[in-house]
Structure 1
Amino acid sequence: MRFLAVGGLCYVITIGLNFLLKWTVLQEKPTTALLIATTIASIVSYSLNKRWTFSSRGSNHPGVEAFLFAVVTGIGIAINSVPLYVSRYVLGFEHPPYSLLFQEVADFVSGPILGTALAMVFRWVAMDLIVFVERKTDGPSPEED
């Protein structure tokens, strides 16, 4: 539930920044706007997940953990961006005869919805198995007593 709460907050950050960038300084570059928004939200995600979601877990080496998080996040950002890229540039929804409304709906469905869903599944598994692993204890486990 904590992972979902952090993800929900970061989703709002991503959507807000994506539309802010897309409707102002990056009007012609929707994929770049999504990449920037997702990167900023990922930084917030690391901080919150480290301190709250996975607070009892993690590496004894914060540098290694941060590196692994950056790798997982980079892959997640790529996964998140692929559906939008396909929608815009492979399917050609960036050009007329498609209306601006159609393009905006296609962008929203492909990037912030489909892309985020795919990236979320990847990140959950990767964070659990690679980044914030269970800490090894030196003594016997409670089940062995």
Structure 2
Amino acid sequence: MSFADATIARLPRSVRPFAERHHELIKFAIVGASTFVVDSAIFYTLKLTILEPKPVTAKIIAGIVAVIASYILNREWSFRDRGGRERHHEALLFFGVSGVGVLLSMAPLWVSSYVLMLRVPMVTLMTENIADFISAYVIGNLLQMAFRFWAFRRFVFPDEFARNPEKALESTLTGGGIAKALEDEFELRNAAPAEAPGKNGTVTPLRRPRRPAPDQLGDSSDPKVSKTS
């Protein structure tokens, strides 16, 4: 049993059927959680050691490492059967989509801070921190996750089963492709005779040519053999 299957087995029964139909989404969420841990671990390690006076630099380095790890894990695990683009084009689109996702994740925090004005002294410090956490880490991350999952499937890895032809054939067989082909062939063989328009515009059925009788197989142009007495 794979890690994704084990994770799905631990989910409540009410959501388990949905998860079983969306393996890619479950894997994508696991990768997102893993890269979040990588990002946080590298950031705090650098911030508390060699880059203590430069937290922004530490965050940039942690973010770059997390994005690279996300690309490798998503390509080789979450969307391992998808593809359809050259590697450099695929990587460029991945990092571009990830950048747009970061901007989207910042949008709720911007609204909370500068539109709703949930900042000190308008509100208490506790209210500000709660608002920042909900807007940045809850709403922002969910918005980013939804956009990235859609964009990865739509633009970065567009072709399903592009890297796994055997699975594509299996999907065709289990999806009713063979049954559909046999059904079409059966309907074609049992279809009514075709009809063609006659000279006067009427429609007459096309008939198969009649086979000649055995006594008509000879050529009428052959000279007749006379009987001699």
Class of the TM-score when normalised by the shorter of the 2 chains: 0.7 to 0.9
Answer yes or no: is the 8 Å Cα contact 1:35–1:77 preserved in 2. no
User: What is the distance in 1 between the residues matched to 2:132 and 2:53?
Assistant: 17
Structure 2: runs of 5 or more not aligned: 1-25, 179-229
Aligned partner letter, 2:93: L
User: 1:56 is paired with a residue of what secondary structure?
Assistant: coil
User: 2:120 is paired with a residue of what secondary structure?
Assistant: coil
Answer yes or no: is the 8 Å Cα contact 1:35–1:81 preserved in 2. no
The answer to whether residue 92 in structure 2 is matched with residue 92 in structure 1 is no
Report the equivalent of 2:97.
72
**Greater Cα offset, 42-51 or 111-120:** 42-51
Where in structure 2 are the equivalents of 1:1-145 lying within 5 Å?
1-13=26-38, 17=43, 40-134=65-159, 135=162, 142=169, 143=172
Change in Cα spacing, 1:92 to 1:43, as seen in structure 2 (3 Å) is: farther
Offset of 1:69 from its aligned partner?
0.6
Of structures 1 and 2, the one with the larger relative CO (CA 8 A, separation 6+) is: 1
Larger Rg: 2
Identity of aligned residues (%): 34
Change in Cα spacing, 1:102 to 1:38, as seen in structure 2 (3 Å) is: farther
User: What is the distance in 1 between the residues matched to 2:68 and 2:95?
Assistant: 9
Report the equivalent of 2:222.
none
More helix per residue: 1 or 2?
Answer: 1
User: What is the distance in 2 between the residues matched to 1:26 and 1:103?
Assistant: 25
**Greater Cα offset, 36-45 or 108-117:** 36-45
TM-score (norm 2): 0.49
Per-residue CA distance 1:48-106 (angstroms, 9 max, x = gap): 11121112222441110011111111111111010011111222223314222211111
User: What is the distance in 1 between the residues matched to 2:143 and 2:65?
Assistant: 18
Aligned partner letter, 1:74: G
User: What is the distance in 2 between the residues matched to 1:25 and 1:110?
Assistant: 27
User: What is the distance in 1 between the residues matched to 2:37 and 2:106?
Assistant: 16
Change in Cα spacing, 1:34 to 1:49, as seen in structure 2 (3 Å) is: same
Change in Cα spacing, 1:50 to 1:136, as seen in structure 2 (3 Å) is: closer
How many residues were matched structurally? 136
RMSD of equivalent CA atoms: 3.3
Per-residue CA distance 1:1-49 (angstroms, 9 max, x = gap): 211111222344456659x97xx8689x9xxx98886665333211211
Change in Cα spacing, 1:115 to 1:86, as seen in structure 2 (3 Å) is: same
User: What is the distance in 2 between the residues matched to 1:94 and 1:112?
Assistant: 17
Change in Cα spacing, 1:130 to 1:109, as seen in structure 2 (3 Å) is: same
Structure 1: runs of 5 or more not aligned: none
